[in-house]
Structure 1
Amino acid sequence: MGRHSLPGSGDSASGPADHGGGDEPSGRIPRADGGWQGRRRRTDGGRRGVSVGVIAALITVVVLVAGVFLWRFFGGVLSKRSADAAQQCLEGTAEVAVVADPSIVENIASFAEEFNSQTTPVGDVCVKVAVREAGSDTVYNGLTGSWPGELGAIPALWIPASSVQPARLQVANGKQAVIDARSLVTTPVVLAVAPQVKNALGQDGWAALPGLQTDPSALDGRDLPGWGSLRLALPTVGGADATYLAAEAVATASAPDGSPTDGLGAVSTLLAGQPQLADNTAETAWNALIAPGDPALAPVHGVVMTEQQVFARSTTMPDDASPVASWLPAGPVAQADYPTVLLSGPWLTEEQVDAASQFARFLRKPDQVAKLNDAGFRAPGAVMEGNDVVGFPELGESLAVGDDALRSALAGAVAPAAGAVTTVMLDQNLSGVTGALEGRIAALPPGAVVGLWTFDGTEGSEPV
């Protein structure tokens, strides 16, 4: 039957095809023996296999992914538990004691409040910075002797006015007493003087001061008749270490190169010739300088201070005060550098040391430094706005003194080491020593005891 012929009456159009081995034609194109000539299926009954290496690699990847997931999961849980425990201060709260010089303590205390509101616990211990005010001699005597109870805990961080103090401490207690000390801000040492005295001093340097101090007609010879000597007060209490730094400058300028200790005689001359006041505080000296009246007759013509102190005090002068000027001696500049001194000692825990270090770094942040600039302290790159008394002039090179031992020796001329108990025996003729004793007693640390006993060569009288 042809390909396009209709089936006859004897044919079954809908019957199933015979898949057996019959010879009858099917009406379709016959298959060629031996399979398809084009695209063919595999007819041998086999399957394509998967490599064992591929399976192993897949298993390894799955294991690694699962491991990373579990590590992150459990690590996150542990970290959260640790953080929660720390936030709860499981080990309590540790106070971190900080002592700062009176000239900067107000700023430091304000920064501590901000730090305490932001700080996170150290381990399981919460920390709180507590700032107290203390002068350099008080802290030095406490750290090298008996710590005064009225100052609270022994500090982890000390911010004196100058690096003279950590130098003294390391000479007395060893290098291990200080972990780190670096400058926070600076301010040069100047003389607060009457404007007439500033003009008379001109371009003089530190070396000229001892002679002007002891010559009773020093200012008379500089077109200031009736003014007498320089009458320079050198306070050791509340003076932001200005007298210590002035002593270094005078000794260095008055001695041969490389031998500042040879200038100690000039320092002693300057100190011995200062005016006798009720006490040796910067406050008393400043008040004597600005007191109303004829400045030529004033008991004080000048006070050694820092530029920042003069700036701060000049903004609150009474209306009837005598005018004041700031004079910067020529030559290398003596500067109070306000180091943050990180202390080491058995009274400190690791958490307290860490927190003190964090606070020291916090003080150096731009916002804190900017506030210190506004208060009159200098920092690199800061633009200072002065007033009628302090113009914040550009400074020359800083004074280079020497190592810690040398600085400690020079400091000894200003405040010799004093024990907790001092006994002094005097001849009945007290005229030559009374003034010197008053100055030394004023510089003694709180709690010091001084016994005075007059002696006539044969027997003593009642103690004074």
Structure 2
Amino acid sequence: MAVAVTSAGSDAVINGFIGKWPTELGGQPGLWIPSSSISAARLTGAAGSQAISDSRSLVISPVLLAVRPELQQALANQNWAALPGLQTNPNSLSGLDLPAWGSLRLAMPSSGNGDAAYLAGEAVAAASAPAGAPATAGIGAVRTLMGARPKLADDSLTAAMDTLLKPGDVATAPVHAVVTTEQQLFQRGQSLSDAENTLGSWLPPGPAAVADYPTVLLSGAWLSQEQTSAASAFARYLHKPEQLAKLARAGFRVSDVKPPSSPVTSFPALPSTLSVGDDSMRATLADTMVTASAGVAATIMLDQSMPNDEGGNSRLSNVVAALENRIKAMPPSSVVGLWTFDGREGRTEVPAGPLADPVNGQPRPAALTAALGKQYSSGGGAVSFTTLRLIYQEMLANYRVGQANSVLVITAGPHTDQTLDGPGLQDFIRKSADPAKPIAVNIIDFGADPDRATWEAVAQLSGGSYQNLETSASPDLATAVNIFLS
């Protein structure tokens, strides 16, 4: 029996199983070798578990950042969770002793890059999620990272790497780093005449995000028994030592096979492999990255009762500055509204609407900035629970389909509501939550708030995240705001 091998992106294969199989890919396959088990998980989610009869790793390659050598040492003490902040803070690399570099400018290409971007997304989500929370709690961090990607001619690995390696001032280059696999890095290094001084890499510490290139045996009515047997035989052939040795020479990692020498990677020993959950979890995270986001639909709920002096400014002033900076960077399609509350009431400052739509003849970003600018610190209590109830009801009534609907609560507590306590608020969220209209309640909570347990429960019940900060005079505030408004 003849064997035909066709190269195709994972998205094309998965979409073919969901709808009509594309003729340009030839006949439907009996064997599929995607870049990682993420693609197999996505196929299972789209076509059902019966679509796959067997799946096992052929070779592996860790996901890393291809960088200029100047950046390699500067990233030594960073990790996956740091990337969204390094990407969005315009002067983040100054803190890493690279004063003229600005922000990270990390490209995450999908075309010609296998599942590297998806695997990096898993790593960022897992590292950014609160302790004990599932990786999906870190999706906001992934959106933040991807939303600030450099704008290139196309979304290909070739375009990203060409831009990274373009001669000139590396500090002002449009791209400082590229998410890819070690194998792709190896191949690019082989093609460079001065690779050692031109191209480096950074493998973030902690559990490694690994592309595992599974041989996926498919099952379906389009396959005869003879074709199924042939696909299985070909998979066994690929796993033979002599075939694996050829793949090792190409830069893939093969157990018990010495890797080739390279000027750009030493093929270091890997720590444990990252695990973010079952196939459903992996498919959810990947789909978040696949779906082109139209921006968030978020209502900011700001506590005015934050007079504490931190870093020479009031806590409220520091929060306002972080919010203003984030609003300036959000895409025009993002929907943003602003509520404030004190000890007496919660009130609408700017109704929720797309940033592209004016408010009373004024651009919405300007209206939001003006409303934030007039806030003053009060010390008269905080009716936070009843205010959240009002906002949540309003967002359910005006749910934005196709966008990530959320409330960002920024408070220091304690609540002073007389008609709604912590258990009552949790019960309200539990009963009001609509699976067809998910609204995440994300909380930035300062200091030793007596309401912390309530806020943590509300975040969990709503599918949101809770972040406690000791002070507002820290880059952690901007990072949290950027993540929750992404």
**TM-score, with structure 2 as normaliser:** 0.59
What secondary structure sits across from 1:346 in the alignment? Answer: coil
- Structure 1 letter corresponding to 2:220: G
Return the offset for 1:320.
Answer: 9.8
- Structure 1 letter corresponding to 2:79: G
- Structure 2 letter corresponding to 1:363: L
Return the offset for 1:385.
Answer: 2.5
- Indicate whether 1:252 and 2:126 are aligned: yes
What secondary structure sits across from 1:226 in the alignment? Answer: coil
What secondary structure sits across from 2:72 in the alignment? Answer: helix
Cα pair 1:332 1:399 within 8 Å, conserved: yes
Residues 395-452 of structure 1: CA distance to partner in whole angstroms, max 9, x if unpaired? Answer: 110001110110000001211299xxxxxxxxxxxx975899xxxxxxxxxxxxxxxx
Cα pair 1:193 1:325 within 8 Å, conserved: yes
1:65-144 equivalent positions in 2, closer than 5 A: 127-144=1-18
- Indicate whether 1:303 and 2:159 are aligned: no
Q: Which runs of 5+ in 2 are unaligned?
A: 294-328, 335-355, 359-486
What secondary structure sits across from 2:2 in the alignment? Answer: strand
User: Percent identity, aligned pairs only?
Assistant: 53
Cα pair 1:291 1:322 within 8 Å, conserved: no
| Alignment partners' CA distance in 1, 2:217 and 2:235 | 8
Aligned to 2:94: 220
Return the offset for 1:306.
Answer: 0.2
- Structure 2 letter corresponding to 1:381: D
Aligned to 1:274: 149
- Indicate whether 1:329 and 2:204 are aligned: yes
- Indicate whether 1:376 and 2:282 are aligned: no
Aligned to 1:147: 21
Cα pair 1:248 1:401 within 8 Å, conserved: yes
Cα pair 2:79 2:204 within 8 Å, conserved: yes
| Alignment partners' CA distance in 2, 1:319 and 1:376 | 19
Cα pair 1:217 1:227 within 8 Å, conserved: yes
Return the offset for 1:394.
Answer: 0.7
Cα pair 1:292 1:321 within 8 Å, conserved: no
Cα pair 1:291 1:321 within 8 Å, conserved: no
Cα pair 1:276 1:435 within 8 Å, conserved: no
| Alignment partners' CA distance in 2, 1:414 and 1:322 | 33
- Structure 2 letter corresponding to 1:230: L
- Indicate whether 1:189 and 2:63 are aligned: yes
Aligned to 1:401: 276
Return the offset for 1:317.
Answer: 2.2
Residues 134-164 of structure 1: CA distance to partner in whole angstroms, max 9, x if unpaired? Answer: 1111111112222111111111111000000
| Alignment partners' CA distance in 2, 1:200 and 1:254 | 21
- Structure 2 letter corresponding to 1:187: S
Cα pair 1:158 1:340 within 8 Å, conserved: yes
- Indicate whether 1:357 and 2:209 are aligned: no
What secondary structure sits across from 1:180 in the alignment? Answer: strand
CA separation of 1:330/1:321 partners in 2, compared to 1, >3 Å: closer, same or farther? closer
Equivalent of 1:343, from 196, 218, 224? 218
Aligned to 1:208: 82
What secondary structure sits across from 2:4 in the alignment? Answer: strand
Aligned to 1:313: 188
Equivalent of 1:232, from 92, 106, 114? 106
Cα pair 2:189 2:195 within 8 Å, conserved: no
Cα pair 2:105 2:149 within 8 Å, conserved: yes
Higher gyration radius (CA) = 1
Deviating more after overlay: 397-406 vs 378-387: 378-387
| Alignment partners' CA distance in 2, 1:282 and 1:147 | 26
| Alignment partners' CA distance in 2, 1:348 and 1:157 | 11
Aligned to 1:66: none
Deviating more after overlay: 256-265 vs 175-184: 256-265
Return the offset for 1:275.
Answer: 0.4
Return the offset for 1:322.
Answer: 7.2
Return the offset for 1:205.
Answer: 1.3
Residues 141-195 of structure 1: CA distance to partner in whole angstroms, max 9, x if unpaired? Answer: 1122221111111111110000001111111111101011110000000000011
Cα pair 2:248 2:260 within 8 Å, conserved: no
Residues 290-335 of structure 1: CA distance to partner in whole angstroms, max 9, x if unpaired? Answer: 0011101110000000000000111112569971101100100000
- Structure 1 letter corresponding to 2:64: V
CA separation of 1:154/1:434 partners in 2, compared to 1, >3 Å: closer, same or farther? farther
| Alignment partners' CA distance in 1, 2:357 and 2:142 | 31
CA separation of 1:302/1:253 partners in 2, compared to 1, >3 Å: closer, same or farther? same
Cα pair 1:180 1:341 within 8 Å, conserved: yes
What secondary structure sits across from 1:369 in the alignment? Answer: helix
CA separation of 1:214/1:374 partners in 2, compared to 1, >3 Å: closer, same or farther? same
CA separation of 1:367/1:199 partners in 2, compared to 1, >3 Å: closer, same or farther? same
- Indicate whether 1:160 and 2:34 are aligned: yes
**TM-score, with structure 1 as normaliser:** 0.62
Q: How many pairs does the alignment contain?
A: 302
Cα pair 1:289 1:322 within 8 Å, conserved: no
Return the offset for 1:381.
Answer: 1.4
Q: Which runs of 5+ in 1 are unaligned?
A: 1-126, 419-430, 437-453, 457-464
- Structure 2 letter corresponding to 1:389: V
| Alignment partners' CA distance in 1, 2:212 and 2:173 | 32
Aligned to 1:21: none
| Alignment partners' CA distance in 1, 2:291 and 2:193 | 36
Cα pair 2:164 2:174 within 8 Å, conserved: yes
